[in-house]
Each structure stands twice: as structure tokens, then as C-alpha cells.
Amino acid sequence: MRLSLPVSGFVRSAASGTAELVIDAQHFHRIVRDGILKATTSVDIATADFKAMLIPEIGGSRRAKSIVQVFRNLAQRGVEIRLLHSGTPSAPALRELKRKLPENLTIRRCPRLHAKTVVIDASRMYLGSANLTGAGLGAKADGRRNFELGVWTEAPAMIDAVLGEFNALWEGRRCTGCKRKDICPAPLEEPAL
């Protein structure tokens, strides 16, 4: 399926939902503020890189929470979080996770994973280039963040297709034919914290 976006960044179709082009700093507002922070049932994240990115408080406060604390808060509200990543989380993220793994947060690792997606409540989704880091999805200033592109969509068929691939990785269905098992120290298990 080809999707072409007009200059405005929006495409609308009754059959496929909507798609919005997300560029650079828009990632923080669309994916974090409008997505992750507003989740009510689930957050499914695939990312190559996972760091303890800081999320400023809404309302101009100078305090910021790490994404791990955000996961804790979501989990306390009953939101289930699945985080699939490829490498070792950053040292600050590991320290926070070691203090106490948030309830309802399950982490799995696949060293071959390079996809980046965030699916909120199985109804809204980001698919693009940004990792779960401050430079990717965070609130860093323009001169300090990555140049990122992605799509934010509510298109059910696209979300279902991405969740199908996510679940295949999550459940290990892609491990059978993997030729890189030698670099997978604990395939699809939560990391020893």
C-alpha cells in the first residue's frame, strides 16, 4: 500500500483512518504528550535504543520525570506496557529499573530489532525513525535532537499489521529462523536487573 502525504502532513480516508507526518520536535508532542501520557489500556513500544529520557511536567514546571517513572505512573493506572528493544538500556534507565521494575511493564530484548513504533491502546500509532531516547522522542531543543521522520496514524489496518509483526517478535515466532542467535544472550526474556 502506498501512502502519499500532501504538504500539510495529513491524509484522510474513511477506510484507512488518518495519517500525519511527524517531523523532529513534533515527535515529543505527538508521541509522548498526545500518545504515551494519555494511554488508558496499553502501550506497545519497539525501539532499538532505550534511554531514561526526561519528560518535562505539563504546565511549565522545571521538574522532569524519566520515562521509567512515567511507566510506573501508567502502570499504577492499570496500563499494560510492553517494551521490546535491541540493546542494553542506558545506565540511568537500568538504575531506575533496578530500584523497582514497574508493575505491568514487561521488557524483552531482540538484538536484531531496528524497528521503531509506539502503539497506544491498539488505536493510535507512531511508526518512524525515532528511538525511545531524549534525542529521538524527547523534549530536547532543536540544536540537540535528532532529525526524525515518522507517521502518526489511527488507521486500523495499519495498526493491526504492525501489532501482528510486534507480536511475532514478542512471542519469539521469528526466533526459529534467526541466524543471529549467537548474539542473543537471553532471547526474549526480561533482562536480569
Is residue 45 a contact partner of residue 172, using CB atoms and an 8 Å limit? no
Residue 109: is it exposed, middle or buried by C-beta count within 10 angstroms (0-12/13-18/19+)?
Answer: buried
Reported as a single tens digit per residue, the pLDDT across 17-74 is 789 999 999 999 999 999 999 999 999 999 999 998 999 877 666 688 899 999 999 9
DSSP, res 151: E
Please name each of the domains of the chain with its CATH number: 18-177 (3.30.870.10)
Which amino acid makes up residue 148? E
**pLDDT over 90 at 191, yes or no:** no
Closest by CA position to 158, among listed 116, 191, 180, 125: 125
Opening angle at CA 141, ends 64 and 159, nearest 5:
75
More reliable by pLDDT, 69 or 179: 69
Please give the grid coordinates belonging to residue 66: 524519566
Distance of CA 151 to the CA centre of its chain: 13
Full-model pTM: 0.85
